[in-house]
Amino acid sequence: MSGHYNLVSWNVNGLRAAIKKGFLELLLEQKFDIVCIQETKVSPDKLPREAKNMPGYYNYFVSAEQSGYSGVGIFSKKKPLNLETGMGIEKFDREGRFLRADYEDFTLMNIYFPNGKASQERLEYKMDFYDAFLDHANALLADGRKLVICGDVNTAHKEIDLARPKQNEMISGFLPEERAWMDNFLAAGYIDTFRMFNPEGGNYSWWSMRTGARKRNVGWRLDYFFISENLRDNVKSSTIYPEITGSDHCPVALELEF
């Protein structure tokens, strides 16, 4: 992996279900160096044996206190120099949404951001999480780090990022305050890597499973790779893989060269 990294991020909507659908075979076939997954829905004691024994990969998982909920994981060919399993804020860390791995060339944060659709309380929790995360990222940046941030952000940033913006402007995931936070985040010196290469609409990473939306490509772009500005020159490609099935989300990928 000397100086070259192929990273992928995927909300797998249940790790055990994804394994049954060929997730691990896909991992080996694609030869990704670092694989970040969200919504694992599995506690460490119930991790499938094959996930813990992936040939060629170290693996790290964080789970929620609530069984079968949330959770993130990293499969990495290179052993991180350091690992952090939360932001140090109990009300967020208990939901198992944050996993940070420090490498020689960058610091990686794999995050499953909250969904705000269930209630006003959950929307407030989501916005509080956003603010706490940005403070956390900015502190790392001030420390001189180069940041890669990936995961299911649970917000489509601009109208181009979902198929039906007008019908969804009062729905969590495309609310003015959520989109404004995304504006502030990018203005703070972070880059949406996919938009470095592709300015087009019609590129989505999540589709409702109830309406046959994926076949019609009526989707949302909720999954991202962001970088701090000091990594801009190291980005070689940023890709969405809508043809890869097995979840209601598809994988997104980032290629870095040092």
* Active site residues per annotation: 152
8 A C-beta contact, residue 249 and residue 152 = yes
Q: How far apart are CA 183 and CA 158, in angstroms?
A: 9
Q: Which of 68, 54, 55, 134 is nearest to 96 (CA)?
A: 68
Residue 247's Cβ-side half-sphere holds a number of Cα atoms within 13 Å equal to: 29
Tell me the two tokens of residue 69: 């909920």
Q: Which of 204, 108, 114 is nearest to 154 (CA)?
A: 114
8 A C-beta contact, residue 97 and residue 80 = no
Three-class SS state of 5: strand
Q: How far apart are CA 224 and CA 251, in angstroms?
A: 9
- DSSP 8-state class, residue 150: E
Expressed in percent and rounded to 5, the helix, strand and coil fractions of the chain are 30, 25, 40
Q: How far apart are CA 74 and CA 47, in angstroms?
A: 13
Q: How far apart are CA 213 and CA 41, in angstroms?
A: 24
* CA max distance for the chain: 47
